[in-house]
Amino acid sequence: MLTLTPEVEVLARFGRALADPIRCRLLLALREAPAHPSDLAERLGISRTRLSNHLACLRDCGLVVAAPVGRRTRYELADQRLGRVLDDLRTAVVAVEADRTCPDAAEKDCC
């Protein structure tokens, strides 16, 4: 039986977090600077409830943390290295997208 190593499990969790466009946008927004939920909801154009669900997912994945600031809560990336990872990933994905060599991509919706 194939067992997953802890590193693979963490990568898979990161991939699941990135699988949703709103969570991607949230991570990119937090890459720029920590923010309060109300500011994030306005910036992303989504409801506070919907934002709360996505922030909970990202917290559960260990990608963001909540920091109390007075009576409010501010969210930030759990580790600033995640910002660099997101930048590198974006650059790599854009490069791959520009050089799509899979001849069946449109037909199979695979790439």
Q: Which amino acid is at 51?
A: L
Q: What is the mean pLDDT of the chain?
A: 88
Q: Per-residue pLDDT for 109 more than 90?
A: no
Confidence of residue 63 (pLDDT cuts 50, 70, 90): very high
Q: What does the pLDDT look like over 13-25, one tens digit per residue?
A: 889 899 999 999 9
State the pTM of this model: 0.79
For residue 15, CA distances in Å to 12, 27, 45, 58 come to 5, 13, 23, 11
Confidence of residue 100 (pLDDT cuts 50, 70, 90): low
Residue whose tokens read 């991509």: 105
The distance from CA 99 to its chain's CA centroid, rounded to whole angstroms, is: 24
| Mean pLDDT, residues 82-105 | 79
